[in-house]
């Protein structure tokens, strides 16, 4: 039996102060760190620690490499940004583990949580996720656009506040335009929209606009977008706007329909 282990860890949104002590302890005990290039770059170098940085879109290969190294006795940390279970490496590791050799099932595998982008963004803006909400990954790399649109319409109909990950990339410039078009069709033009870019890093930029003013170019791949529910309030203060969603909904309810 090897003494290797595998930890799938979240590095949080960017600020080193937002890395949990549990994740830091795993990094301190590791022999190998595996992950997407910019995330591995966030791990402090030290003697005895091997870094294995790879490009995105090779998640399965990266997962197999990490499992293989752990099976051979290495102490491996697979790093993700934010939380590893949110649109990140934890599922990729389990997908590969499920199809891999039976010996991988005896490995010591742990998922160590991190602060996901929507919680970091929400905390900066106030409390937009204070009532029921959902999170949708807007990338259509791993699912068809038709499913994204269906979930979007149903989320609006259920009157969730919505957090959008991966809103817009150079490879998919038109997807977020379509999301905004659907929202304009179904929601009132004053609905608040938060664009939270690079939260907790020196490049952090937050802006709150109403849906009528929201433009696709306001988002990029480092942006987390939160669209309020029909009850989310924008509250001006000295340096911008607080965004919050009250905890309660009157029994008459809220929301509407958003059929295509």
At closest approach, how far in Å is the CB of 88 from ligand SAH?
4
Interface ranges with ligand SAH (CB under 6 A):
13-14, 80-83, 86-88, 116-117, 121, 165-167, 196-201, 221-224
In terms of Cα–Cα distance, which of 20, 17, 35, 15 is closest to 114?
Answer: 20
C-beta closer to ligand SAH: residue 165 or 244? 165
At closest approach, how far in Å is the CB of 16 from ligand SAH?
13
C-beta closer to ligand SAH: residue 8 or 74? 8
At closest approach, how far in Å is the CB of 8 from ligand SAH?
11
Residue 34, SS3?
A: strand
C-beta closer to ligand SAH: residue 187 or 225? 225
At closest approach, how far in Å is the CB of 188 from ligand SAH?
25
Spatial distance between the Cα atoms of 125 and 8, rounded to a whole number of angstroms: 29
Full strand arrangement of the beta sheet holding 126-127: 126-127, 240-244, 233-237
CA–CA distances in Å: residue 233 to residues 220, 244, 245, 247 = 25, 5, 6, 12
C-beta closer to ligand SAH: residue 216 or 249? 216
- How many other C-beta atoms are found inside a 10 Å radius of the C-beta of residue 29? 11
In terms of Cα–Cα distance, which of 173, 118, 112, 109 is closest to 140?
Answer: 173
At closest approach, how far in Å is the CB of 47 from ligand SAH?
29
Half-sphere exposure of 29 (CA within 13 A, CB side): 13
C-beta closer to ligand SAH: residue 71 or 148? 148
Residue 131, SS3?
A: coil
C-beta closer to ligand SAH: residue 71 or 96? 96
At closest approach, how far in Å is the CB of 101 from ligand SAH?
27
C-beta closer to ligand SAH: residue 14 or 126? 14
Instruction: Compute, in degrees rounded to 10, the torsion defined by CA atoms 135, 147, 58, 90.
Output: 40
Helix ranges (H only) for the chain are 21-29, 37-40, 59-71, 89-99, 117-125, 145-157, 175-186
At closest approach, how far in Å is the CB of 3 from ligand SAH?
29
Minimal CB distance to ligand SAH: which residue? 82
Q: Alpha carbon 209 to chain centroid distance?
A: 21
């Amino acid at each position: 039996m090897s003494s290797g282990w595998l930890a799938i860890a979240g590095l949080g949104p960017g600020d080193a102060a937002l890395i949990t002590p549990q994740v830091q302890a795993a990094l301190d005990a590791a022999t190998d760190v595996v992950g997407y290039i910019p995330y591995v770059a966030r791990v402090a170098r030290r003697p005895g620690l091997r870094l294995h940085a790879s490009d995105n879109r090779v998640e399965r290969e990266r997962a197999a490499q990490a499992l293989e190294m752990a099976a051979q006795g290495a102490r491996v940390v697979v790093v993700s940004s934010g939380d590893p279970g949110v649109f990140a490496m934890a599922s990729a590791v389990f997908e590969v583990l499920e199809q891999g050799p039976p010996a991988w099932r005896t490995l010591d595998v742990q998922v160590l949580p991190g602060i996901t982008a929507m919680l970091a963004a929400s905390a900066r803006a106030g409390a937009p996720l204070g009532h029921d909400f959902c999170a949708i990954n807007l990338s259509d790399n791993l699912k068809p656009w038709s499913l994204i649109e269906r979930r979007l319409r149903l989320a609006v109909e259920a009157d969730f506040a919505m957090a959008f990950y991966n809103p817009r990339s150079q490879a998919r410039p038109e997807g977020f335009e379509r999301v905004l078009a659907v929202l304009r069709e179904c929601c009132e033009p004053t609905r608040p929209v938060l664009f939270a870019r690079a939260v907790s890093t020196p490049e952090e930029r937050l802006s709150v606009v109403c849906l009528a003013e929201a433009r696709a170019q306001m988002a990029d791949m480092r942006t987390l977008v939160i669209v309020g529910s029909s009850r989310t309030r924008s509250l001006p203060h000295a340096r911008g706007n607080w965004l919050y969603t009250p905890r309660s909904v009157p029994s008459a309810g809220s929301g509407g329909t958003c059929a295509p």
